[in-house]
Amino acid sequence: MQPDHEPENTNMTMNPRIPMLIVALLFTLQACSSQREGTTLWQPTTGISPEDAYKLGKIKNKPYVIGNRLYVPMIFEQVYAYEEIGIASWYGKETLELHNNQPTAYGEIFDPELPSAAHKYLPLPMVVKVTNLDNNSSIVVRVNDRGPFIDGRVIDLSAEAAKQLGFYEKGTARVKIESIYR
């Protein structure tokens, strides 16, 4: 008995450009999904992640004294519920020069051209979302330094972070700081 139709050709060849197009499409979709409108995401440049620092016992959260005042940073577990509204300021090359290029409190090199932050109470290193409440722009930054040690200010951002949040010229802004570990 013969089949009523011809057998299909199973030796189909794929256009060699199709796999490259699929890869390009996947990269494009990944890039779209990794950023919300108005939020600049922190991308690790150097240093250990907060999670790895915690696992390896390298979180810096011991009490310290600045100007005869004792500061007691929170423990890593407290970061999950952390949220604060207050005044942000920024620091840049002049601070770097004033302190003779010394490393941050976590021992990293401070680069005012990269988004980063200083905080009095967060364990180091940490990653937080900072939102400028005047224009609703946000950025996710690595906290790797201590400060600001001026009453009424809750966070010091690098010059680049202040530019991205839109308050570089003004000098300060009312911000909301949120843990990204929720």
- What digits encode the pLDDT tens for the residues 125-174? 999 999 999 999 999 999 999 999 999 999 999 999 999 999 999 999 99
Which domains, and CATH codes, for the chain?
39-179 (2.40.40.10)
Q: What is the pLDDT of residue 69?
A: 95
pLDDT at 23 over 60: no
Which is more confident, 6 or 117? 117
| Euclidean distance between CA atoms 52 and 46, whole angstroms | 13
Band of residue 4 on the pLDDT scale cut at 50, 70, 90: low
HSE on the CB side for 125, CA within 13 Å? 23
**Residue 95 buriedness (CB in 10 A; 0-12 / 13-18 / 19+):** middle
pLDDT at 111 over 90: no
Q: What is the pLDDT of residue 96?
A: 59
N- to C-terminal Cα distance for the chain? Answer: 68
pLDDT at 57 over 70: yes
Question: pLDDT over 90 for what percent of the chain?
Answer: 59
